[in-house]
Structure 1
Amino acid sequence: MNKINIKRIKASTIQVIGNKTREEGVSFATRLTDLSSSEEFIKQFVENSFKTVDQKQFTYIDNLELNPVYNFVSKIFSNNELFIKQSVNLATYLYEQSLHPNIKSGEFYTILLDCIVDNEMIEALLLLKSEHKDAFLTTDNDGKVISVKTVYGASIKNMDKGCLILNQKSEDGYIVFVVDNTNNGNDARYWTESFLHIADRCDDYHTTLSVANLCSSFISKMQKSEKVDYLELALAASRNNELMNQKSTIDVKKLPDLLFSSSKYKQDFNDFLQNYECMNDTIPKTFMPKPEAIKRKSISRMNSIRLDNNFEVKILNSQAELIRGYDEEKEMSFYKLWFDKEY
Structure 2
Amino acid sequence: MITTFEASLQQLSVHRVGNKAQDEYMVLSDAPLRTDEDLLRNLLMTYFLKPFEKVNEVYRFTHATEDLALNEICSFAKKAFADETQFHQLSQQITKHLYDVSAHPKIKAGEVYIASFDKVQIEGELHQALGIFKSETKETYLKVYPDAGGFALSYEQEAINIQKLDKGCLIIDADSEEGYKVLVVDQTNKSQEAVYWKDDFLKLRIRNDSYNQTSNVLGIYKNFVNEKIDDDFQISKPDKIDLLNKSMKYFKEKEKFDIDEFSDEVIGNEVASNSFKNMLSSFETEFDSPLSKGFDISGQAVKKQASSYKTVLKLDKNFHVYIHGDRSLLEQGFDEHRGKNYITLYYDKEA
What TM-score do the two structures reach when normalised by structure 2? 0.85
Equivalent residue, structure 2, for 1:128: 133
Larger displacement relative to structure 2 (176-185 or 135-144): 135-144
- Quote the Cα distance in structure 2 between the aligned partners of 1:225 and 1:3: 46
- Offset of residue 303 of structure 1: 3.7
- Offset of residue 81 of structure 1: 0.8
Specify which of 265, 277, 288 is matched with residue 296 of structure 2. Answer: 288
Mapping 1:179-328, distance limit 5 Å: 179-222=185-228, 224-225=230-231, 227-230=233-236, 231-284=238-291, 285-295=293-303, 297=305, 300-306=308-314, 313-317=321-325, 319-322=326-329
- Quote the Cα distance in structure 2 between the aligned partners of 1:291 and 1:87: 38
Q: 1:255 to 1:173 in 2, by over 3 A?
A: same
1:173 and 2:176 aligned: no
- Counterpart contact for 2:217–2:280, Cα < 8 Å: no
- Offset of residue 227 of structure 1: 3.9
Equivalent residue, structure 2, for 1:97: 101
- Offset of residue 314 of structure 1: 3.6
1:151 and 2:134 aligned: no
Deviation by residue 1:170-196 (Cα, 9 ceiling, x = unmatched): 112111111111154233211111101
Deviation by residue 1:25-81 (Cα, 9 ceiling, x = unmatched): 221122111123321112212442012422222122122221100000110001111
Give the letter for the 1:53 counterpart.
Answer: N
Deviation by residue 1:193-250 (Cα, 9 ceiling, x = unmatched): 1101112111111111111111011112246447422254322101111123235111
- Quote the Cα distance in structure 1 between the aligned partners of 2:332 and 2:166: 55
- Offset of residue 332 of structure 1: 7.9
- Counterpart contact for 1:216–1:299, Cα < 8 Å: no
Give the letter for the 1:301 counterpart.
Answer: Y
Larger displacement relative to structure 2 (251-260 or 27-36): 251-260
Equivalent residue, structure 2, for 1:59: 62
| Structure 1, gaps ≥5 residues long | none
Secondary structure at 1:177 match in 2: strand
Equivalent residue, structure 1, for 2:30: 30
- Offset of residue 96 of structure 1: 0.1
Give the letter for the 2:294 counterpart.
Answer: T
- Counterpart contact for 2:95–2:112, Cα < 8 Å: yes
- Quote the Cα distance in structure 2 between the aligned partners of 1:141 and 1:79: 49
| Structure 2, gaps ≥5 residues long | none
Equivalent residue, structure 2, for 1:15: 15
Larger displacement relative to structure 2 (175-184 or 158-167): 175-184
- Offset of residue 324 of structure 1: 5.4
Specify which of 88, 98, 103 is matched with residue 84 of structure 1. Answer: 88
Q: 1:13 to 1:334 in 2, by over 3 A?
A: same
Q: 1:168 to 1:5 in 2, by over 3 A?
A: farther
Tell me the matched-pair count.
Answer: 342
- Quote the Cα distance in structure 2 between the aligned partners of 1:311 and 1:140: 53
- Quote the Cα distance in structure 1 between the aligned partners of 2:227 and 2:313: 15
Secondary structure at 2:77 match in 1: helix
Q: 1:36 to 1:323 in 2, by over 3 A?
A: same
Q: 1:306 to 1:154 in 2, by over 3 A?
A: closer
- Quote the Cα distance in structure 1 between the aligned partners of 2:209 and 2:242: 27
Q: 1:309 to 1:128 in 2, by over 3 A?
A: closer
Q: 1:275 to 1:98 in 2, by over 3 A?
A: closer
- Quote the Cα distance in structure 1 between the aligned partners of 2:202 and 2:189: 18
Secondary structure at 1:45 match in 2: helix
- Counterpart contact for 2:259–2:294, Cα < 8 Å: yes
- Offset of residue 97 of structure 1: 0.6
What TM-score do the two structures reach when normalised by structure 1? 0.87
- Quote the Cα distance in structure 2 between the aligned partners of 1:275 and 1:121: 38
Give the letter for the 1:250 counterpart.
Answer: F
- Quote the Cα distance in structure 2 between the aligned partners of 1:130 and 1:329: 62
- Quote the Cα distance in structure 1 between the aligned partners of 2:335 and 2:109: 70
Deviation by residue 1:288-312 (Cα, 9 ceiling, x = unmatched): 2234325454885344445666665
Deviation by residue 1:264-297 (Cα, 9 ceiling, x = unmatched): 3223222333233333333332222234325454
Q: 1:55 to 1:295 in 2, by over 3 A?
A: same
Give the letter for the 1:157 counterpart.
Answer: Q
What percentage of residue pairs aligned between the two structures are identical? 26
Give the letter for the 2:207 counterpart.
Answer: R
- Counterpart contact for 1:215–1:299, Cα < 8 Å: no
- Counterpart contact for 2:263–2:269, Cα < 8 Å: no
